[in-house]
Amino acid sequence: MATVHNSADKEQIASVVLMPGDPYRARYIAGKFLENAALVSEVRGMLAYTGMYKGKRVTVMGSGMGCGSMGIYSHELFNKYDVEVIVRAGSCGAYTMDLDLKDIFIPNSCWSQSTYAQTYSGYEKEFVEPDPTLWKSLCEHALNYKTGCLHTSDCFYYKKKEDKHLICEQKHCLAVDMESFALLHNANQAHKKAATILTVSDHSLKKEKLSVAEREQNFDAMIQIALDTLASFA
């Protein structure tokens, strides 16, 4: 059952999916962590691979950047391919001195000013939450992690500079990404499971960021946690 954005047959997509933002990171994950990984879709360069991880069938697929892109791919996976579980594994920027570069952050809620959820389903609230059992499993596999509320922003660059301290104080957000709000909302609407695990890659308060090499090396730990969790739900 190919869709507009995914050329895979329905049986080529596993019931559990790991979604990094970058499709090339999906290729890297498939090559390093999966056995017998096969490319099952490459529509618009959004690579998807299915293979085996510790004896369990897993698909890894890029989501692209932003709620719009994540919304498309996660909607199709949940509603067209009967995917039951999606874990987003990506990067985030820190809003607080309580987070450091390379920290593993597993959000227990997500706030956004995005109109994505209202447009998608008429959902009027500003907060969404991950599936509690999936979130708990990620935490148990991570051991060393931090948790709290995540801000999902529609913008990476701002002409109008937001006061990150204000967002942190008013909405209790500790970090920011661009995709999680759409994923979690789509999962809740489809009555499926989704959660997010992130590595702190940028810290505007400390004026720090990971290099390309550091991102690759330090993201491996997060990917391992996500895959171990997904294997337990496969």
Which residues are catalytically annotated? 202
Which amino acid makes up residue 153?
S
Q: How far apart are CA 231 and CA 220, in angstroms?
A: 16
Q: How far apart are CA 131 and CA 230, in angstroms?
A: 13
134 within 8 A of 195, measured Cβ to Cβ:
yes
Which residue spans within the chain are E strands per DSSP? Answer: 16-19, 35-41, 48-53, 56-61, 85-94, 104-105, 109-112, 127-128, 149-152, 173-177, 193-203, 208-209
Q: How far apart are CA 59 and CA 50, in angstroms?
A: 4
